[in-house]
């Protein structure tokens, strides 16, 4: 029995949803509504003490961290491999998934939080908001919520995040000059990791990712959008977004 706790098919939730769909394994979907702060509900914190999505539950064992979940899926369901067979290419794939987790995603995340959180919480009174904060298990996440709710990320930090996103996209573009897929000749977890960040970009970050500046990223994005697993994953959205339905 395989269960996935996840939010909408975006960012880290998308990363593991897409992996499961590519594998073609059946799983029970548990929607955790981040807009309702359900990831901090005591019942969910019992599943993942960090209060974060996604989390995979396999025959009762909990696996957290989207990148670790995807490696786990490869370990237990080796059919339809998403890890390159060649160990050198596989290492390259891991450098990519690591890069997404340590560089690309944190930069994108700050920019997203800066945009999204304030409208999400401004209907709350200060007391209500503090009560929401108090339930967040990780201090770092509490700090990030507070900063995002007040939109007090320093402009210097936001500018640096935007720069990092551009560095990331250029790095993907360069990789796609050398091979059809990001980590080499075959589709892999590296493509899934990057797509989990880049899926909305052709529509929402046109100044960064577009036909002129990043033609290979655009072509790769279009090929990603054609994959049945991507379509199935986006079809799971409770609140579908325009970028899930078409390429730019």
Q: Among the candidate windows 35-43, 62-70, 173-181, 185-193, which touches a second copy by CB under 8 A?
A: 62-70
Task: Determine if the peptide bond prior to 54 is cis (ω within 30°).
Answer: yes
User: CA of 43: how far to CAs of 48, 49, 139, 185, 215, in Å?
Assistant: 9, 10, 19, 43, 45
Work out whether 72 is an interface residue with a second copy (CB under 8 A). Answer: yes
At closest approach, how far in Å is the CB of 64 from a second copy?
6
Judge whether 89 and 36 are in contact, CB under 8 Å.
no
- HEC secondary structure over 4-66: EEECCCCHHHHHHHHHHHHHCCCCEEEECCHHHCHHHCHHHHHHCCCCCCCEEEECCEEEECH
At closest approach, how far in Å is the CB of 81 from a second copy?
13
Q: How far apart are CA 123 and CA 212, in angstroms?
A: 41
Residue from 63, 149, 161, 217 touching a second copy (CB under 8 A): that is: 63
The nearer residue to a second copy, 43 or 75, going by C-beta atoms, is: 75
The nearer residue to a second copy, 106 or 242, going by C-beta atoms, is: 106
Strands (E), the chain: 2-6, 28-31, 55-58, 61-64
Site string for a second copy, 153-192 (x = CB under 8 A): ----------------------------------------
At closest approach, how far in Å is the CB of 125 from a second copy?
28
Q: Among the candidate windows 84-92, 118-126, 150-158, 186-194, which touches a second copy by CB under 8 A?
A: 84-92
Residue from 35, 36, 49, 91 touching a second copy (CB under 8 A): that is: 91
Q: Which residues of 65-85 are buried (b: 16+ CB within 10 A; e: fewer)?
A: bbbebbbbbbeebeeebbbbe
Work out whether 107 is an interface residue with a second copy (CB under 8 A). Answer: no
Q: Among the candidate windows 39-47, 82-90, 120-128, 182-190, which touches a second copy by CB under 8 A?
A: 82-90
Length of the chain: 248
Q: How many residues at the interface with a second copy, by CB under 8 A?
A: 21
Residue from 35, 80, 98, 246 touching a second copy (CB under 8 A): that is: 98
Binding site for a second copy (CB under 8 A): 58, 61, 63-65, 67-69, 71-72, 75-76, 87-88, 90-91, 94-95, 98, 101-102
């Amino acid at each position: 029995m395989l269960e996935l706790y996840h939010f909408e098919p975006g960012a880290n939730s998308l990363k593991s949803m897409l992996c499961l769909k590519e594998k073609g394994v059946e799983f029970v979907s548990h929607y955790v509504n981040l807009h309702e702060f359900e990831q901090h509900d005591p019942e969910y914190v019992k599943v993942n003490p960090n209060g974060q999505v996604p989390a995979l539950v396999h025959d009762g064992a909990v696996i957290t961290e989207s990148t670790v979940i995807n490696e786990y899926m490869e370990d237990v369901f080796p059919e339809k491999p998403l890890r390159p067979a060649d160990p050198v290419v596989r290492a390259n794939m891991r450098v990519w998934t690591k890069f997404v987790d340590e560089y690309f995603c944190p930069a994108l995340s700050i920019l997203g939080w800066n945009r999204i959180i304030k409208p999400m919480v401004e209907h709350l009174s200060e007391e209500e908001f503090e009560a929401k904060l108090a339930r967040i298990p990780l201090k770092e996440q509490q700090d990030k919520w507070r900063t995002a709710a007040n939109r007090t990320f320093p402009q210097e930090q936001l500018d640096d995040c935007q720069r990092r996103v551009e560095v990331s996209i250029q790095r993907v573009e360069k990789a796609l000059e050398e091979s059809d897929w990001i980590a080499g000749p075959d589709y892999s977890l590296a493509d899934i990791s990057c797509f989990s960040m880049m899926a909305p970009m052709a529509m929402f970050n046109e100044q960064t990712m577009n036909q002129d500046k990043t033609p290979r990223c655009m072509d790769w994005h279009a090929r990603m959008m054609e994959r049945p697993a991507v379509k199935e994953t986006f079809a799971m959205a409770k609140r579908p977004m325009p970028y899930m339905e078409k390429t730019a």
